[in-house]
Structure 1
Amino acid sequence: MATATDVEQQAMRRALEAARSIPRALPNPRVGCVILSPDGTQVAVGHHRGAGTPHAEVDALTQAGDAARGATAVVTLEPCHHTGRTGPCTQALLDAGVARVVYAQSDPNPVAAGGAAALQAAGVEVVGGVLADEATELNRAWTHAVTQGRPFVTWKYAATLDGLSAAPDGTSKWITGPAARRDVQRFRAECDAIVAGTGAVLADDPRLTVRDEDDMPLPYDQQPLRVVVGETTIPRYYRVFDRVAPTLMVQSRDPEVVLAKLRDHGVHHAWLEGGPRLAGAFWAAGLVDRVIGYIAPALLGSGRAALEGEATTLADLRPIEIDDLTRVGPDIRIVGRPQRAPREEMD
């Protein structure tokens, strides 16, 4: 069985960098591609920029031109073998005369899968699974949505050291500092929906948008869908109804209903924030896939907890596996993923 060379491994890392160069390509995956000449020289680097734009392979092949003939394509995702808004990447690679394809993650989408087999049948040498874990993590939310049939859910919250996200009067704005609030925008930009409960919207009148370093909203076509969940009426003058971004009202607090609505709207990655009751419902249903918490070095003493639930004993404790722990200004950011089994089942 053929294996990747050291040069191809290095090229795959460059392809992963290219894929990371844009925060979001949803509803498509982020993909990068490097074209190597027969002697291992890098000829071109391409990446996918979003639905309707050329796939990474086509972007790189266009840059390479005639130099792609006899070359190796190193791509972070198995080349697609179907026609959607664009043609199949397998055919583009064959038309360009590529002799070898090295890919990382196998395509989990049954509609687009089969590219490796098609290329091999056409006489192209194919090597798969190179840095597959890194490539899969890059598209963790997209892969989850494709394989699980529902959006990936990131729950973000901000709290004091004593675990409170709002004062007794319900106010919750600016628990964390400016650096943390800017940091949130980077993560928000990865998602294609921002979800909040009606209570949080009424209390804080949030914009629920992605903004730049100058606190200016990104263009409309780059904004995630704003989703307001609950049965309480929100006055039309609230900022969530402005023309900066699209807005969807979901008159239910049932997480399964909410996610089904989002799936029907083509959402792959939902950013859940605003409302400990809504977050608690998702948490209790086991529908939180990633947690991002910003902890401020401050104490309230009383107020609303960041999460409301029905736990009655320590046996209900659900640990979080921490992936990253970083200081952001004076605050601390914790990124982790819930462990599905209760603690006593893991001991």
Structure 2
Amino acid sequence: MRRAIELASGGLGRVNPNPLVGAVIVKDDRILAEGYHEKYGGLHAERNAFSQLKESAAGADMYVTLEPCCHYGKQPPCTEAIIGNGIKNVYIGSHDPNSLVAGKGIKQLRDAGISVTEGVLEEECDALNPVFFHYITTKTPYVVMKYAMTLDGKTACDTGKSRWVTGESARNHVQQTRNALTGIMAGVQTVINDNPSLTCRIENGRNPVRIICDSSLRIPDSSEVLKTAHKTRTIIATISDNAQRLSQIEETGAEIVKTKPLNGRVDLKELMLKLGRLGIDGILLEGGGTLNHSALKAGIVNHVHAYIAPKIFGGSGKYTPVSGGGVKSPDDAYMFRNLKITRFRHDILLEYDIINKDR
């Protein structure tokens, strides 16, 4: 199963909104074949593994990180292939919450006389697909709030300069996350201040869909985001009814998504529903303190990536990861769990899942 997990990761950034899945076929303590879901619309992991066989798999075992599908989609059911190839035992890591599967795949295999063992390295297998599990059950994107800060909690100097808070290794990891998630979201003030491209700089990487929250359409025509909107899918989320400006932005190739106003800003909950309908299953939130605060308050954040650099900027504290009004008491704080720590030379990354997102 550990090998299947390793294989599954090969589909990062290529299979969305499908899950990452790996499969290994074993007989007489030998690996006969292995495979993974390589790209959206391509062979599922199980069928990919069967396609690599050089001998019969009759009587063999299969290890697969996610419950095999049992319905027709872009590919036929994997349960049919497992049964048809004479697999004797199937070992499954994660259960598939997709209502089209959700235990039906396991039942189909057992009804065919195949022994099924569930929950093998379940925690590790579940860790492959938080985006898929969230999206398939809520139809809204899984949101990762990312920021980099100093030891004294600053995301920039009082001058506004922020290049660079963290080192190259940590910044390269951010690029990997951009490649893995379908969308990236920032506020218009970030675009005005920094003029970022919000693309993936990994060789052969995938550019995420760029989503800019811009309530009053202040985005400059000269911004990299609009100048390249014809090449990289770009969405401007707004509440504005300025027909002339909306038309100008659409002429660049950018799409417009409108929401009802909420306190004079884009309604982020409504935006997530609309982005989900557009097939955006995961978003890296690279906003400033204001947008991060709004996202937390709206209850759309699922996970946090906090990069911490061994630096102190000092100053007034104008630039912090989360601004806004703040909570009134420590008892009202946003709480997190499931800490994961990764070191990038002198910088560290703290990852957490949010507990009380809906308050």
- Shared fold, TM over 0.5: yes
Matched, 1:97 2:113: no
In the TM superposition, residue 170 of structure 1 has moved relative to its aligned partner by 4.1
Matched, 1:250 2:234: no
Q: Which residue matches 1:345?
A: none
Tell me, in whole angstroms, the C-alpha distance in 2 between the residues paired with 1:192 and 1:134. 22
- Whether the 8 Å contact between 2:32 and 2:55 is mirrored in structure 1 is no
Structure 2 vs 1, CA of residues 116 and 326 (structure 1 numbering), >3 Å: closer, same or farther?
Answer: closer
Q: Which residue matches 1:269?
A: 282
Number of aligned residue pairs: 325
Structure 2 vs 1, CA of residues 312 and 268 (structure 1 numbering), >3 Å: closer, same or farther?
Answer: same
Q: Which residue matches 2:332?
A: 316
- When normalised by structure 2's length, the TM-score is 0.84
* Residue type of the alignment partner of 1:131: L
Identity of aligned residues (%): 36
* Residue type of the alignment partner of 2:285: L
In the TM superposition, residue 292 of structure 1 has moved relative to its aligned partner by 0.7
Tell which deviates more after alignment, 262-271 or 160-169.
160-169
Match of 1:236 among 221, 227, 240: 221
Unaligned ranges ≥5, structure 2: 240-265
In the TM superposition, residue 63 of structure 1 has moved relative to its aligned partner by 0.5
In the TM superposition, residue 329 of structure 1 has moved relative to its aligned partner by 3.2
* Residue type of the alignment partner of 1:31: V
In the TM superposition, residue 94 of structure 1 has moved relative to its aligned partner by 2.1
* Residue type of the alignment partner of 2:5: L
Tell me, in whole angstroms, the C-alpha distance in 1 between the residues paired with 2:274 and 2:350. 29
* Residue type of the alignment partner of 1:34: V
In the TM superposition, residue 65 of structure 1 has moved relative to its aligned partner by 4.6
SS at match of 1:50: coil
Q: Which residue matches 2:209?
A: 225
Matched, 1:299 2:288: no
- 1:193-223 per-position Cα deviation (integer Å, ceiling 9, x unaligned): 11111111111111111112xxx6x45xx22
In the TM superposition, residue 331 of structure 1 has moved relative to its aligned partner by 2.5
- When normalised by structure 1's length, the TM-score is 0.87
Question: What is the aligned-residue RMSD (CA, Å)?
Answer: 2.2
What does 1:1-347 correspond to in 2, within 5 Å? 12-24=1-13, 25-37=15-27, 39-113=28-102, 114-212=104-202, 218=204, 222-231=206-215, 232-241=217-226, 242=228, 243-252=230-239, 253-296=266-309, 297-302=311-316, 303-310=318-325, 311-321=327-337, 323-340=339-356
SS at match of 1:157: strand
Structure 2 vs 1, CA of residues 96 and 188 (structure 1 numbering), >3 Å: closer, same or farther?
Answer: same
In the TM superposition, residue 247 of structure 1 has moved relative to its aligned partner by 0.9
* Residue type of the alignment partner of 2:218: T
Tell me, in whole angstroms, the C-alpha distance in 1 between the residues paired with 2:271 and 2:178. 19
- 1:254-283 per-position Cα deviation (integer Å, ceiling 9, x unaligned): 220221122011111111012211110111
- 1:148-200 per-position Cα deviation (integer Å, ceiling 9, x unaligned): 33211100011222222234454444222222211211222221111111111
* Poorly superposed stretches of 4+, deviation over 6 Å: none
Tell me, in whole angstroms, the C-alpha distance in 2 between the residues paired with 1:99 and 1:330. 49
- 1:82-118 per-position Cα deviation (integer Å, ceiling 9, x unaligned): 1111111111222222222221111110123411111
Tell me, in whole angstroms, the C-alpha distance in 2 between the residues paired with 1:54 and 1:29. 12
Unaligned ranges ≥5, structure 1: 1-11, 343-347
SS at match of 2:53: helix
In the TM superposition, residue 341 of structure 1 has moved relative to its aligned partner by 8.3
- Whether the 8 Å contact between 2:36 and 2:46 is mirrored in structure 1 is yes
SS at match of 1:165: coil
Tell me, in whole angstroms, the C-alpha distance in 2 between the residues paired with 1:138 and 1:318. 25
- Whether the 8 Å contact between 1:229 and 1:258 is mirrored in structure 2 is no
Tell which deviates more after alignment, 174-183 or 258-267.
174-183
Tell me, in whole angstroms, the C-alpha distance in 1 between the residues paired with 2:218 and 2:186. 14
SS at match of 2:351: strand
- Whether the 8 Å contact between 2:151 and 2:308 is mirrored in structure 1 is yes
In the TM superposition, residue 313 of structure 1 has moved relative to its aligned partner by 2.7
- Whether the 8 Å contact between 1:81 and 1:89 is mirrored in structure 2 is yes
SS at match of 1:67: coil
Tell me, in whole angstroms, the C-alpha distance in 2 between the residues paired with 1:326 and 1:17. 18
Tell me, in whole angstroms, the C-alpha distance in 2 between the residues paired with 1:201 and 1:289. 24
Structure 2 vs 1, CA of residues 131 and 335 (structure 1 numbering), >3 Å: closer, same or farther?
Answer: same
- Whether the 8 Å contact between 1:173 and 1:204 is mirrored in structure 2 is no
